[in-house]
């Protein structure tokens, strides 16, 4: 920022500072979140799938398309995640009871136990990461980020009660 001030003093650099900080924080947060998942034998993408299925409610089933859309992952990326989770017994693919032409992804009992075991550690980790802001600061930041999400057209992130990025 100081270099741009020196080189182009009339340039409004304030957007660079904001976007740069958001980008850097996303990288830092990703590393911190992955640590908890790794302790439980998962990665963030795998946790996202399990969490999306669990929060969908009983019978804990979604189509691959619903999962891809919810988690903002390409169909190829989702296929890879689903295969790894199925191989480990955390999910199974089965015909949709309402339409046998459609396959659904179902959370197994083992997958449900795992996501429910990891979730308290994940939330505690997020709480730790945001503790320095205090309740008022967290609320203010959440509001500002929600407003920015609306401006950028991401209604899924900004809607009240919407899940945060990565299904958390």
Q: Where are the alpha helices (DSSP H) in 74-154?
A: 75-87, 109-130, 134-151
**Would you state the pLDDT for residue 168?**
45
**Would you state the pLDDT for residue 150?**
93
What interhelical angle do 44-55 and 14-39 show, nearest 10?
80
User: pLDDT tens digits for 65-98?
Assistant: 999 999 999 999 999 999 999 999 999 999 988 8
Is there a contact between 92 and 137 (Cβ–Cβ < 8 Å)?
no
Sign of CA dihedral 85, 83, 37, 158: negative
pTM of the model: 0.82
The Cα 138–Cα 127 span in angstroms is 10
The Cα 98–Cα 96 span in angstroms is 5
Pick the CATH number of 15-167 from 1.20.120.160, 1.20.120.140, 1.10.10.10, 1.10.3720.10: 1.10.10.10
Under DSSP, the state recorded for 57 is -
| Domain residue ranges of the chain, discontinuous segments joined by + | 15-167
**Would you state the pLDDT for residue 38?**
97
**Would you state the pLDDT for residue 167?**
44
Is there a contact between 37 and 43 (Cβ–Cβ < 8 Å)?
yes
Q: Which residues of the chain have pLDDT under 50?
A: 158-168
């Amino acid at each position: 920022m100081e270099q741009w001030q020196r080189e182009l003093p009339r340039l409004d650099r304030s957007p660079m500072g904001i976007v740069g900080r958001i980008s850097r924080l996303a990288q830092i947060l990703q590393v911190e979140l992955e640590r908890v998942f790794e302790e439980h034998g998962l990665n963030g993408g795998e946790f996202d799938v399990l969490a999306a299925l669990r929060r969908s409610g009983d019978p804990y089933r979604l189509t691959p398309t619903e999962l891809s859309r919810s988690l903002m992952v390409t169909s190829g990326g989702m296929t890879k995640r689903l295969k790894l989770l199925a191989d480990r017994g955390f999910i199974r693919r089965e015909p949709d009871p309402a339409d046998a032409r459609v396959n659904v992804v179902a959370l197994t009992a083992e997958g449900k136990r795992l996501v429910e075991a990891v979730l308290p550690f994940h939330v505690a980790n997020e709480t730790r990461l945001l503790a320095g802001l205090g309740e008022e600061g967290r609320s203010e930041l959440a509001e500002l980020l929600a407003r920015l999400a609306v401006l950028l057209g991401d209604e899924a992130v900004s809607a009240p009660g919407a899940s945060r990025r990565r299904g958390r």
